[in-house]
Structure 1
Amino acid sequence: MARLPYLDKADLAPSDQDLLERNINLFRCLVHSPGGARAHHALGHYIRHRSRLDPRLREMAILQVGWLARSPYEWSHHVKIGYDFGVTDADIRAIMDETAGRPTTLEPAAKLVLRAAREIAAGPGASAETFDALRAHLDDERLVDLVITVSFYCAVVRLLATLEIDVEPDYMPYLEKYPLPQD
């Protein structure tokens, strides 16, 4: 159960109702701070719609963060979103295997993106070795977009955990298909 009540459009000033165009629980909680929600939406919108980072690699990086954080909300949402952007079931299994140190057949760029996401999530950031290896696959703009994406989603999983955002029923099948490990 979320630590704050979920708000609906009717609970918001008319000028803020656009913040709930996507009526998901995270947004329904963030709108307690319309300015904060608007800033959050702006960066999220850039990452999903304007970044030049390959969308499949972007979603794999986000999934890596969700997997590491054991974030049911992030994981379930981005399994679904990942499918929309070319992530396959084999990719999802590879994320789990790469995290566990098991070999995969992922292409080198994907392996490096996942390694960078793991290093950034663990802190303080991607190693020089990983960053330099990524240069063979990503130009400077895409490198920065990768770091922005992973860093943003590291913050998102902290929001989700602290506010105790509930996974919506429509996303539960993704969590059931790929359950998070129990620590």
Structure 2
Amino acid sequence: MTRIPLADIEQTERLRPSTDGRPLNVLRLLANAPNVFGGWADMAGEIFTSPTFTPRSREVVILRVGHLQNSPYELAQHVVFAHAAGLTDQQIDALLDTGDIDVAGFSADERTLIDVVTELCETRRLRDESFAAAHALLGDEALTELLMIVSCYYGLALVLNAVDLEIDAPGRPRTGEAR
């Protein structure tokens, strides 16, 4: 059960509906902080509309962060988005360390993203070699954007885990296994 009451939908204009017409619990939770909610919602919206990363590559990054942060809510939401972006069950399993990443069929560029995200989340740093590989693939602008995506979802996972946000997305039940 969520440890902080969710904002009342009737009183919160900025809550964007999910596919079923109801605001997601994550938005109702974050709306409890109206002084920062608008800016956060704008940033998250830009992550989803930026042409820098395809929906598929963005979901590879977000699922990997969600897994490494052990965030059941983030995973439940983004498994659905990952399927919609064309990731297979085998690829999703590999991102969640329940399958073999080496045989999941990721491109070399996707493997670079996965390796960089994994190293960054696990060590909170990037070795010179990892940084160079990411920079060679992405350049300054896209690498900075990648790091912002990781930081957004890494931080969001901390918030969601702290309040034990109730999952409102139809995802595969594996997300609760780590609890």
TM range (shorter): 0.7 to 0.9
Superposition pairs for residues 123-134 of structure 1, below 5 Å?
123-134=123-134
RMSD: 2.2
- TM-score computed with the length of structure 1 as normaliser: 0.84
1:56-111 deviations in whole A, cap 9, x for unaligned?
111101100111122110001011112222322232123134x8876334221111
Q: Which runs of 5+ in 2 are unaligned?
A: 18-22
Matched, 1:164 2:156: no
Matched, 1:111 2:111: yes
Matched, 1:21 2:16: yes
1:124-162 deviations in whole A, cap 9, x for unaligned?
222221121123422322111111101111001001011
- Report SS of the residue matched to 1:5: coil
**Structure with more of its chain in helix, by fraction:** 1
Q: Which residue of 1 aligns with 2:37?
A: 37
- Between the two proteins, the alignment pairs up a number of residues equal to 173
- TM-score computed with the length of structure 2 as normaliser: 0.85
Cα contact 2:66–2:75 (8 A) shared by 1: yes
Cα contact 2:7–2:32 (8 A) shared by 1: yes
Superposition pairs for residues 58-137 of structure 1, below 5 Å?
58-97=58-97, 103-104=102-103, 105-137=105-137
Q: Classify 1:181/1:102 alpha carbon distance in 2 versus 1 (closer, same or farther; 3 Å).
A: farther
Q: Which residue of 2 aligns with 1:149?
A: 149
Q: Which residue of 2 aligns with 1:182?
A: 178
Q: Which runs of 5+ in 1 are unaligned?
A: none
1:110-131 deviations in whole A, cap 9, x for unaligned?
1111111112212322222112
Alpha-carbon distance between aligned partners in 2 of 1:127 and 1:43, rounded to the nearest angstrom: 27
1:150-178 deviations in whole A, cap 9, x for unaligned?
1111001001011221101xx24x232x4
Q: Which amino acid aligns with 2:172?
A: L
Alpha-carbon distance between aligned partners in 1 of 2:29 and 2:57, rounded to the nearest angstrom: 28
Alpha-carbon distance between aligned partners in 1 of 2:140 and 2:37, rounded to the nearest angstrom: 29
Cα contact 1:8–1:20 (8 A) shared by 2: no
Cα contact 1:66–1:74 (8 A) shared by 2: yes
Alpha-carbon distance between aligned partners in 2 of 1:150 and 1:111, rounded to the nearest angstrom: 15
Alpha-carbon distance between aligned partners in 1 of 2:84 and 2:30, rounded to the nearest angstrom: 25
Cα contact 1:72–1:175 (8 A) shared by 2: no
Cα contact 1:51–1:145 (8 A) shared by 2: no
Q: Which residue of 1 aligns with 2:20?
A: none
Q: Which residue of 1 aligns with 2:47?
A: 47
**Aligned-pair identity (%):** 27
